[in-house]
Every structure is written in C-alpha cells, then in structure tokens.
C-alpha cells in the first residue's frame, strides 16, 4: 500500500526535496503512457458522467490553445497553468467513476496507479481553495 503524500513532505521546511517524494514523482512520470490510455478509455466509457468528460475535453482544449492565463515564455510558471488544468481534469475523471472502474481500465501496475492518484491529490491540495471550488463546480 502506498502512503499518502502531503504538500509539506515534498519540499521540507529547509527547502530540500524528500527522496520519497522524488521517487513517487518519477514513477508517476513513467506511468504517463498508461495514464494517457486511461484518460482515453474514461472519455469513451459510458459510466463516466458527461460533465466530467466535458471538463476533461475543455482542459485538453485549454492546453492546446495558444492563449494562456500565464504566458508560456515565462520559465516554469508558463507551463504551470496547463499542468494545473490537466491535473484538475484528471482528478475529476478518476473521482467521478470510482476506483473499481479505474482499475478495470488501467493497464499498468496497481502500485503505479496509487502513486499517480497520490500525485494528483497532492497537486489538487496545493491549489488555492477558490480555484479548487471553481473546478469542482465546473466539473
């Protein structure tokens, strides 16, 4: 079983990164091909609510759009809004159907899925409350 990772465990009080957090992020990145397949399957699955699918498609449109809230030429921050939108959409998709459906559609190992879910939950936990509330309302 994978433990939940909290925001203060990613960057410690003295600014250094936890080895466990880096390992989890690395494994989540390696799971990206299976994650893309999962999202495609969730979009096509009739058990996923239409609002969650619409939110995911809007997120994809935002990422592909040349118009951003934070311009992409700003290092690190420029891509953060795209990443945040994708993470919120992924969080909505996964939470809208339940673990049993996600596991049915997932190709990778269950440990990696748990790590991906933890990373998504961690990122959602870093989102300001107002923005998180808006994402829940839209999704």
Of 137, 127, 18, give the one whose Cα is nearest residue 83: 127
State how far the Cα of 42 lies from the Cα of 101, in Å rounded to an integer: 9
Task: Provide mean pLDDT across the span 116-127.
Answer: 73
Asked if pLDDT for residue 17 goes beyond 60, the answer is no
pLDDT reported for residue 89: 86
pTM for the model stands at 0.65
Q: 100-115 pLDDT, tens per residue?
A: 898 899 887 777 677 7
**Residue 125, CA atoms < 13 Å, CB-side half-sphere:** 13
Helix (H) or strand (E) holding 21: helix 19-30
Dihedrals phi, psi of 12, to nearest 5 degrees: -70, 170
Q: Which tokens go with 1? A: 């079983």
């Amino acid at each position: 079983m994978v433990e939940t990772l909290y925001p203060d465990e990613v960057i410690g009080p003295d600014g250094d990164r936890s080895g466990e957090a880096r390992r989890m992020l690395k494994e989540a990145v390696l799971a990206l091909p299976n994650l893309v397949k999962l999202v495609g399957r969730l979009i096509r699955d009739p058990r996923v609510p239409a609002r969650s699918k619409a939110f995911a498609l809007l997120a994809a449109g935002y990422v592909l759009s040349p118009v951003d809230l934070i311009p992409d030429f700003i290092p690190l921050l420029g891509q953060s809004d795209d990443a945040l939108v994708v993470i919120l959409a992924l969080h909505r998709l996964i939470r809208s159907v339940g673990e049993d459906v996600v596991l049915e559609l997932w190709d990778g190992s269950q440990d990696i899925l748990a790590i991906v879910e933890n990373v998504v939950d961690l990122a959602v936990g870093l989102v300001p409350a107002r923005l998180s509330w808006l994402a829940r309302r839209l999704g």
